[in-house]
A = this chain, B = another copy of it.
């Protein structure tokens, strides 16, 4: 039986592309490229720190990735501008259907389980107005690992007493789908761009824009682990999916 709906934050409830307004204002014409490389390196650095056994919090990871990005592109930001850009991760725009989806979930516990640091998550959730719609915000920080390390997902049982099989985990991030599946969660993947739409974009652009390359790397079902149990194209479809799961006869395990 499902007792809790657990959300990834960055890319799932909050749109990481929403930093592009600020990155483009800071460096006109470079906004999308900065946005994509920054996010790709942010993810990579979280995995590398975790693998090296050298955890630093996601705020440091976010800053390291921004430093790499600006340096690689040959762009110079003074400390004030650098901080202003980095801080956009604490004011990401929630996806437009996030609030309504959370409101329509009925009596389930709602939680975030994120790689973000406690401060980052408090800031972005508070800024979005989603805070009153969530029962818990769980940061990997207390475990000093990053998803998809299984210990990160163990937070849900540790802190809310909800076992993996009692949760529906919701993420748009393929690595997170694999990680959550690997520890026994039921998982809904948000597939915001269909394989066909992505292929059309790739075929119509020569060469593809950085934003399309980003989608090619990050928006499709990964093949390094089990696929999600369900796919939805936006958070708006989540309440119906949750109702369908509730009506499902108990599965033989």
Contacts and interface: CB of A to CB of B under 8 A. Distances in A.
Contact of A48 (B40, B45, B148): B148
A213 B216 contact: no
Contact of A208 (B68, B203, B207, B217): B207
Contacts of A220: 68, 71-72
A51 B49 contact: no
Contact of A52 (B40, B202, B205, B225): B225
B223 A67 contact: yes
A216 B45 contact: no
Contact of A74 (B64, B72, B74, B195): B195
The quantity of this chain's copies bound in the complex is 2
Contacts of A45: 222-224
A173 to B, nearest CB: 11
A73 interface: yes
A104 to B, nearest CB: 32
A143 interface: no
Contacts of A203: 74
Nearest to A207: B209
A61 B61 CA distance: 26
A53 interface: yes
A199 interface: yes
A196 B150 CA distance: 41
Contacts of A74: 195-196, 199, 202-203
A96 interface: no
16 contacts: A33-B202, A37-B216, A44-B47, A44-B224, A45-B222, A47-B47, A47-B48, A48-B224, A49-B224, A51-B51, A52-B178, A65-B224, A67-B223, A68-B220, A72-B195, A74-B199
Interface of A: 33, 37, 40-41, 44-45, 47-54, 61, 64-65, 67-68, 71-74, 146, 148-150, 175, 178-179, 182, 195-196, 198-199, 202-203, 205, 207-210, 213, 216-217, 220, 222-225
